[in-house]
Structure 1
Amino acid sequence: MSHSLSSISRSVIEDTAQDFRPANPQIIMSNNTYHPTQNIYTKDDEPRIHRSARDVRELRAGEFHDEESIDHELPGDVFGQEDGHDIKYKTLSWPVVAVLMITEIVSNGMLSLPSSLAAVGVVPGVVVIVFLGSFATYTAWALIQFKLRHPEVHNMGDAGMILFGPIGREILSAGTIIFAVFATGSQILAGQLALSVLSNERLCTVAFAGIFAVAVTLASFPRTLDSLGFLSIVGGISIVVAGIVALAGAGAVPINPGDIQVAVTSDFTSAFISITNPVFAYAGHFMFFILISEMKQPQDAMKAAYALQITATSLYVVFAVVSYWYIGSDVLSPSLLSLSPLFSKLAFGLAIPNFFIAGSLYSHTASKLVFVRLFRHTKHIHTHTLLGWGTWTLLILLANVAAFVFAVGIPVFNYLVGIAASVFAAWYTYGLAGAFWLHDTYYFEGGFRAWLQRPLMLAVNVFTVLAGAFICVGGLYATIVALIRASAAGELPPAFQC
């Protein structure tokens, strides 16, 4: 009988969490002991009881409802106990995570925001930027709470497994990889543009893209994110300084100062694209699970998220408004192209470190998802093995080569990035956070009754899911319409154009 119950329990756990077992043979949680080989929890002062996957989640919720009491070595923790291992992942402090987040998010997306204000007007544009930034702060909180309750989650695919089963895992994993590779390609194009401006276009742009892709590839090779920490500090500082220089340049050599509109009447496509620009500018949540998994104290993750959102929202508003004020309604995207030649070169040159470091973080993310999926809880994660390093090298090369080929070989790549942002960023940054809260409140706090007992939070999270769906559908429609218009007007560049 005992053997039968153990088999049933093991089946439930494996079907629900794809065998997310800790590396430790036994892990102590408060006064509970987890026995991974038998998939059971026991109280130290009571007999062993076989529990279902839902029972395990409920026990975990009861013991660790207070986020301050959550230990970073819970059962199912992605990297387990790392003492004595050659490669240690859980080394990040929250300030370093904040810098990594800022470097990754406050990047080339910021440079498109002045054109968004020109499309809809300064008041609607600022309202959208501030609202989406505040909204992203809430969704970051919901995502972090989900991660703390489900320490086995390493990426959006793992979260999809919990929410929707195997199909959800594959869809959200694929979406993360696609979006990360496309984002890498976007950074390669930004670097290509910067090098072209600095050199007065003296070399084929494909060659510039290739040079930049090599730099991105080399920077993304470290296996752990702490190895990218120092580079991220440089990258974060570079984009902030580049923004300041750009504002100084716009003020020193104004083009149409004061040529701004409080509000602009435009068609749905133009207006919605101006919304997808700030959505893309805030689109970093898809990396949060991977970042938090490598923190020494995951419960500090919200401090990093606050630092990110305050910094990003403040920079976005100031940069967008001041640039729009001095350059006027003809501001280009990226706005650095609207500056005088001298200031354009200065700003692009200062932004280059951010472009290639952000690109390396994206390609690292795509590679890390697959690597952990292949080798979770094996020696290849923590040990310098030929198979481990060979696989990691192959994944890094594949991610960056794919990003380069897509960026320079597909004439509609910028539109594909917009489509990917609409389909994936809308859900990863906004919509899924509502699903996380609804799921955990239902399973941890009493089902439908728990939802009804918290009507305000229920309304907020239903709205979050619907908002994600609206941004997804609206952004997808607007981007496809813009692509059709550009194609009809003959505005699409040829593949591999110099």
Structure 2
Amino acid sequence: MTESHSSTALDSEKGSQTQQTVVHHDKQISVPDKEAYEGFDVYGNEKDAQIQYRTMVWWKAAALMLAETISLGILSIPSAFASLGIVAGCILVIGLGVVATATGYMIGLFKLRYPHVHNMADAGEILAGPIGREVLGAAQVIFLIFICGSHVLTGLIAFDTITAGVSCSVLWGGITAIVCLVLTVPRTLNGISYLSIASFISIIAAILITMIGVGVMGHHGGVTAHSNLTFARGFLAVTDIIFAYAGHVGFFTFIAEMRVPEDFSKALWFLQIADTTLYLIVGLVVYAYAGATTVSPALGNTGTILRRISYGIALPTIVIAGVINGHVCAKLIFIRIFRRNGVHSKHMTSHSFIGWATWVGICFVIWALAFVIAEVIPFFNDLLGVISSIFASWFTYGISGIFWFHLTPRSERWTTRWQKFKTVFWAFIIIMGAFIMVAGLYASINSIVEGYRAGSFSGPFTCDNMALT
């Protein structure tokens, strides 16, 4: 297979199979059974469907991607600059941004070649059969639930900071989870895309207040061009930048609900230019003023009053970005239940009681698990680092290299100088994903061990004030 934008490319070898008629972009085409499943859109013909999924234009997809990616990622960038130094920080933000653009583009190509792909589980089935489907599907669900848990935890920290800890933090965690659950209920991403605009405005306003606040406070501590750290501590800071680009886990689902999937590249370029620029500006400005005293999340670098204001303004992005991840996770499970070998149940595209009850039930389970995980595990942030190292290293980086090798026949990999370059580049991406996984695991586990030694972990379901002071 080649890197083709054609979503109807079919092997002629299986022409002896039984033919059937399927609908693709409202046209009836006769294809073999297996290819009908692998060659045509995940949602089929939505002309008479009560619930239509493929309704997003490219800028709405870009807004979703932006809200999902920069929401919490941007808040850890200044502290990464403080740990790594300004030179390494800038190089990593730009370099990893370029790589994330290339890997995102490859995900788009893979989706165009296999329009039935809706999530990483579907991609896994193409790469490695039923085992690949189960492994990547389970990995995506676990990763997304832990991301939802991180939003629950960040929400309760925000509420505690705003209210100065006047109530039990478990209550704030529950409120955050309930709000996220309610906002996840809309069945289509198009319905959530408008919320993502509010999310983007929210985080930009909060960051602007923080940058103005640190500017008014003046310079604190020196700014260094480089830093001397142990490998574990240094790579832990690097992972903050690596995972600030880790929105790729939802890309297949976003493309699946675009009106014109070929427009995904527009949304991707918008995302990568915007987030790379914002990461650089925020990292440089906050670190330049806060210096060695820079803390994470970045909103904590101002005085008490501005910190509370910033967190209040940032609440929409904390919640909505979590909602987007929760929706992607719920949609994966929902599609798995109501789609069998390309045949859709009526409950997937109609306002049936079973369809809605199943959808709401899935959303409830996801946010209940996110709440429990965030409250029970005392070293949640470090555990999230472990989970991200295992899964995001592949979803954002390594697996795109595997996609390229799958799409490019061996006979074409070394034919020209440009093809040789691409072969080496995508092999490097696979190795890079493996390295991030191993090094990230080492750094995160080391941080957990040090946390236990220092006694810095709180107990489960604690009412302790989690506010940043």
Asked if TM exceeds 0.5, the reply is yes
Q: Secondary structure at the match of 2:280?
A: helix
Query: What is the distance in 2 between the residues matched to 1:434 and 1:371?
Result: 28
Aligned to 1:206: 170
Answering whether residue 22 of structure 2 is matched by residue 26 of structure 1, we say yes
Answering whether residue 342 of structure 2 is matched by residue 401 of structure 1, we say no
Query: What is the distance in 2 between the residues matched to 1:425 and 1:123?
Result: 25
C-alpha contact 1:27 1:35 (8 A) present in aligned 2? no
Q: Secondary structure at the match of 2:348?
A: helix
What pairs with 1:279-298 in structure 2 (closer than 5 Å)? Answer: 279-298=242-261
Residue type at the aligned position of 1:466: I
Q: Give the 3 Å change call, closer, same or farther, for CA 40–339 of structure 1 in structure 2.
A: closer
What pairs with 1:268-287 in structure 2 (closer than 5 Å)? Answer: 268-287=231-250
* Structure 1 residue 459 displacement after superposition: 0.7
Q: Secondary structure at the match of 1:328?
A: helix
* Structure 1 residue 33 displacement after superposition: 3.1
Answering whether residue 200 of structure 2 is matched by residue 236 of structure 1, we say yes
Residue type at the aligned position of 1:158: D
Query: What is the distance in 1 between the residues matched to 2:163 and 2:14?
Result: 68
* Structure 1 residue 109 displacement after superposition: 1.7
* Structure 1 residue 485 displacement after superposition: 1.1
Q: Secondary structure at the match of 2:123?
A: helix
Residue type at the aligned position of 2:446: V
Map Cα deviations across residues 137-160 of structure 1 (whole Å, 9 max, x no partner): 010111100100010100011111
Answering whether residue 158 of structure 2 is matched by residue 174 of structure 1, we say no
Q: Secondary structure at the match of 2:259?
A: coil
Query: What is the distance in 1 between the residues matched to 2:291 and 2:247?
Result: 29
Aligned to 2:5: none
How many residues align? The count is 444
Aligned to 1:224: 188
Query: What is the distance in 2 between the residues matched to 1:85 and 1:363?
Result: 24
What pairs with 1:297-316 in structure 2 (closer than 5 Å)? Answer: 297-316=260-279
Answering whether residue 152 of structure 2 is matched by residue 156 of structure 1, we say no
Q: Secondary structure at the match of 2:294?
A: coil
RMSD of Structure 2 on Structure 1 (CA): 2.1
Q: Secondary structure at the match of 1:415?
A: helix
The TM-score with structure 2 as length reference comes to 0.91
Query: What is the distance in 2 between the residues matched to 1:30 and 1:348?
Result: 47
Map Cα deviations across residues 247-281 of structure 1 (whole Å, 9 max, x no partner): 01110113506x11110010001110111111211
Residue type at the aligned position of 1:324: Y
Residue type at the aligned position of 1:170: E
Answering whether residue 308 of structure 2 is matched by residue 345 of structure 1, we say yes
Query: What is the distance in 2 between the residues matched to 1:209 and 1:142?
Result: 37
Residue type at the aligned position of 1:387: I
Q: Secondary structure at the match of 1:82?
A: coil
Map Cα deviations across residues 39-93 of structure 1 (whole Å, 9 max, x no partner): 578xxxxxxxxxxx9xxx8xxxxxxxxxxxxxxxxx4310011011100000000
Tell me, which stretches of 5 or more residues in structure 1 are unaligned? 11-20, 42-52, 58-74, 443-447
C-alpha contact 1:246 1:347 (8 A) present in aligned 2? yes
Query: What is the distance in 2 between the residues matched to 1:224 and 1:28?
Result: 20
Aligned to 2:230: 267
* Structure 1 residue 35 displacement after superposition: 3.5
* Structure 1 residue 119 displacement after superposition: 1.1
Q: Give the 3 Å change call, closer, same or farther, for CA 98–7 of structure 1 in structure 2.
A: closer
Larger Rg: 1
C-alpha contact 2:71 2:318 (8 A) present in aligned 1? yes
Query: What is the distance in 2 between the residues matched to 1:128 and 1:334?
Result: 19
Query: What is the distance in 1 between the residues matched to 2:195 and 2:367?
Result: 18
Aligned to 1:423: 390
What pairs with 1:359-398 in structure 2 (closer than 5 Å)? Answer: 359-376=322-339, 377-398=344-365
C-alpha contact 2:24 2:40 (8 A) present in aligned 1? no
Taking only the aligned residue pairs, the percentage that are identical comes to 37
Query: What is the distance in 2 between the residues matched to 1:207 and 1:278?
Result: 31
C-alpha contact 2:74 2:279 (8 A) present in aligned 1? yes
C-alpha contact 1:103 1:235 (8 A) present in aligned 2? yes
Q: Give the 3 Å change call, closer, same or farther, for CA 411–449 of structure 1 in structure 2.
A: same
C-alpha contact 2:23 2:45 (8 A) present in aligned 1? no
The TM-score with structure 1 as length reference comes to 0.86
Map Cα deviations across residues 354-410 of structure 1 (whole Å, 9 max, x no partner): 010011111111111010011021111101112111111110000000001101111
Q: Give the 3 Å change call, closer, same or farther, for CA 479–110 of structure 1 in structure 2.
A: same
Answering whether residue 412 of structure 2 is matched by residue 450 of structure 1, we say yes
Aligned to 1:489: 454
Query: What is the distance in 2 between the residues matched to 1:483 and 1:429?
Result: 24
Aligned to 2:427: 462
Answering whether residue 286 of structure 2 is matched by residue 323 of structure 1, we say yes
Map Cα deviations across residues 440-490 of structure 1 (whole Å, 9 max, x no partner): 112xxxxx2211121011011001111111111110111011111111221
* Structure 1 residue 7 displacement after superposition: 12
Tell me, which stretches of 5 or more residues in structure 2 are unaligned? 1-12, 464-469
Residue type at the aligned position of 1:253: M
Query: What is the distance in 1 between the residues matched to 2:17 and 2:86?
Result: 58
C-alpha contact 1:98 1:308 (8 A) present in aligned 2? yes
Q: Secondary structure at the match of 2:408?
A: helix
